[in-house]
Amino acid sequence: MFMFFFSRDLEIHCWGGLGSQLYASAFFEKMSLENFNPTLVFHSSGVTPRSPELDWMYEGEYSSFNDFELGGLKSEIGFAKRGIISILKSLKNSLGLNLYQQNDTLPKIREWTKSVRGHYAFEQITEEILEKINERSLKSRRKEFYKKDYLQVKGIGIHYRIGDLETLVNKTYIDPSQLSKLIQEINEKEKLNVTLSSDSANKAELLLGSANKFDIRLLKTNTWDTIQELKKLTYFVGTNSKVSIWIAILRSYEVNSHKTFMPENLKPVLMANLGKKLTSKINFY
């Protein structure tokens, strides 16, 4: 029993796409550096079904649950049983055994904590954590994630999230006129090629292209490679997306001469991830 409580084994549960999973990965590395024995536990449930995208990096330290289709089962559980589950959940949370992130602040991880569930988006991302993720990536598939210095590629990169933001009631995608204005201001100084990545590529190209007189190259690749492509360009314009945030994080650490533009509402997240000094390198619109 004593060994169970103080084994420092820790399940890190996560949901969402690659951006969200990278936050869980960063938290995994943070806990590992603090001498825990973490395991990533991925869940497919959410607004839309998701797939594991980092299982290849955490062989033997990763498990996944295809629980998207199980969401409806909650309504079939009786009132009394739901009440008991809720009480047990609260008890485990108060004891620090199973922790649940209720807001932007993650509860303190204790030596006896067995699992944590959250989005981990407001945790600090240090260079040491990025290097740890990079080591795993290179070891598993020889895919580079983080590199301190490299040759810049001249151009403007845009990551334009639209997707489910078209249908969500309390959220929407960035007004294309804002993005167009930024691109025009940059192109007044030097004419650069524009590379666009979006989860709704054709619509994004139409929205931006109809308001501008520049050619757009659509980036058609997986999300991991999209991050690597867009982070190298001299200018990057991000939108309301964790993938955009990760590109901004990497650019802030890797090369000083990059110009990065991010939505003003994402400033608190980036301040938490990067701190004041590195966040000051980012231009907010």
Query: What value does the mean pLDDT take over residues 96-101?
Result: 85
pLDDT at 21 over 50: yes
Dump pLDDT digits (tens) for 173-185. 999 999 999 998 9
Q: What are phi and psi for residue 111, nearest 5 degrees?
A: -60, -25
Which pLDDT score, from 0 to 100, does residue 87 have? Answer: 62
Decide which of 64 and 107 is more confident: 64
The distance from CA 156 to its chain's CA centroid, rounded to whole angstroms, is 21
Compute the distance between CA of residue 27 and CA of residue 113 in angstroms, rounded to an integer.
Answer: 14
Task: Tell me how far apart the alpha carbons of residues 101 and 119 are, in angstroms, rounded to a whole number.
Answer: 7
- Which structure tokens are listed for 271? 């301040």
- The pLDDT tens digits for 123-171 are 999 999 999 999 999 999 888 999 987 778 999 999 999 998 888 778 8
Per-residue DSSP letter, 88: H
* pTM of the model as a whole: 0.89
- Residue whose pair of structure tokens reads 């867009």 in the numeric block: 230
Calculate the average pLDDT of the chain: 88
- Determine the average pLDDT of the residues in 246-269: 93
Closest CA relative to residue 136, chosen from 74, 191, 189, 62: 62
* Selected residue with higher pLDDT from 136 and 189: 136
Q: Is residue 88's pLDDT more than 70?
A: no
Q: Please report the pLDDT score of residue 73 as a whole number.
A: 46
Give one DSSP letter per residue of 157-196, joined into a string: EEEE--GGGGT-SS--PPPHHHHHHHHHHHHHHS---EEE
By DSSP bridging, strand 153-160 and strand 115-117 are unpaired
The bridge status of strand 233-237 relative to strand 9-14 is: unpaired
pLDDT value, residue 219 = 95
Assess contact for 20 and 47: CB atoms under 8 A.
Answer: no
**Distance, CA of 59 to CA of 243 (rounded, Å):** 23
pLDDT at 218 over 50: yes
